[in-house]
Structure 1
Amino acid sequence: MKKDYPVPASFLERETEVKKSRFIARVAPVGSRDEVKDWLEKAHQDHPDARHICWAYQVGRPGSAAEAAMNDDGEPSGTAGKPILSVIQHKDMGDVLVMVIRYFGGIKLGAGGLVRAYAGAAESVLSEVGRVVHKPLSAANITMGFADEQPLRHWCDMNAAELDSVTYGASVAARVLVPEDQAEVFSAFCDAHKLDYSFET
């Protein structure tokens, strides 16, 4: 059984200043590399004159993320992406992207100063962003009579399940996203109502 884990509740931006350099940190919830790309493109559109846009992300459960990556975007190797990623990992959060946009202020910070500045910027935004719990979902396909749709909708509302799609024909076909920890309860509901269902693998 996959564990629930916290993910960012929303997009958030915070700005810090270190020796006249501006560090604009953004956090965003992401579920795939494509979403990461979209957020990075937006950052480049919003800040075309920034000297660096460094970032790190991890998708999946903290500690065993399915995917993680980082980028120093021209800063000395290991001084930007890596400190951002280590703050993410320390926060025990999944499905998260942190971008730090830097406007150079004319004073060089040195490698240690950069590490502290990027880690501090990541910390400033991650410590303030709201968290929601990501519950792994299982998808189930159901075929049922018209009279069964309302009880199913009611069950979904009561059990944090989501009716993903409904198709009407001779009978009603539905796809339901069920929290994994409710899968057995869902099966019992279907059996009690004599619904034809199967979980997608």
Structure 2
Amino acid sequence: MTDRSAPHLIPAGTARVELRVVNSRFIGSAGPAAAVEEAKAFIAAVRAEMPDATHHVYAYVIGHGSSTIEGMSDDGEPSGTAGRPVLAVVRGSGLGDVVVVVTRYFGGTLLGTGGLVRAYSDTAKAVLAELPRTEKIARRRLRITIPYSAYEPIQRLIATHHGTIEREEFAATVTLEIVVPDANVAALTGALRTMTAGQAQIAAE
């Protein structure tokens, strides 16, 4: 059962490592991917950077817990020796929204099924160990309509609650589209109503 209170960890950047196994080079690259398109773009960038490599094996996990999208590829290695072991390592890392590519330059010596599984698993573990992590914070989008007189103090109020203003519209009143951490929504909306004496109109997008 998934612990809903557990933090959702995601990559805070990218990482790269290189391992040598017998004569083959295994280069692990990892980074953030909040959508399948982002994972595919990361994989394509690694391929473009090392076009002469023998294989670009990858695995990604988008999302967290029970609502995840997963993908993997052996990229020409024997079935089950590459993509599946890398995906198993990614699943076990506790990370979501992450993509790992293990690039192999074949060194002329066959590693066998067990050797391939170990090499790809070890490279995935090594690059994930180097990958910086941060907590994914759930955010809510709100649309706020306020009088002009409240515009400047409410800008400061939104910043205090770690919100960001994405769009502003100036007509008879001021309409702001903001994004704010879920945990701060109740406090922010209460403060907005107090500051504007109930004049603020607040709607969830």
1:197 lines up with 2:202 in the alignment: yes
- 2:126 aligned partner, one-letter code: S
Q: 1:102 to 1:65 in 2, by over 3 A?
A: farther
Which blocks of at least 5 consecutive residues in structure 1 are unaligned? none
Query: Hey, what's the Cα distance between the residues in 2 that align with 1:69 and 1:2?
Result: 26
Deviations 1:147-185 (A, max 9, x none): 323333323322222222222233222111121122211
1:32 lines up with 2:30 in the alignment: no
The structure having more radius of gyration, on CA atoms, is: 2
Counterpart selection for 2:109 from 107, 110, 129: 107
Instruction: Tell me if structure 2 keeps the 8 A contact 1:59–1:96.
Output: yes
Q: Compute the displacement of 1:18 (Å).
A: 0.6
The share of aligned pairs that are identical, in percent, is 33
Query: Hey, what's the Cα distance between the residues in 2 that align with 1:153 and 1:89?
Result: 41
Q: Compute the displacement of 1:103 (Å).
A: 0.7
1:44 lines up with 2:12 in the alignment: no
- CA root-mean-square deviation: 1.6
Instruction: Tell me if structure 1 keeps the 8 A contact 2:16–2:28.
Output: yes
Q: How does 1:108-127 map to 2 (within 5 A)?
A: 108-127=110-129
Instruction: Tell me if structure 2 keeps the 8 A contact 1:54–1:73.
Output: yes
Q: Compute the displacement of 1:3 (Å).
A: 5.8
Query: Hey, what's the Cα distance between the residues in 1 that align with 2:66 and 2:126?
Result: 24
- Other-structure match for 2:136: 134
Q: Compute the displacement of 1:190 (Å).
A: 2.6
Deviations 1:98-154 (A, max 9, x none): 111111111111111111111111111111111111011111111112332333332
Which blocks of at least 5 consecutive residues in structure 2 are unaligned? none
Q: How does 1:154-169 map to 2 (within 5 A)?
A: 154-169=156-171
- Other-structure match for 2:74: 72
1:18 lines up with 2:21 in the alignment: yes
Structure 1 moving runs of 4+ over 6 Å: none
Q: Compute the displacement of 1:70 (Å).
A: 1.0
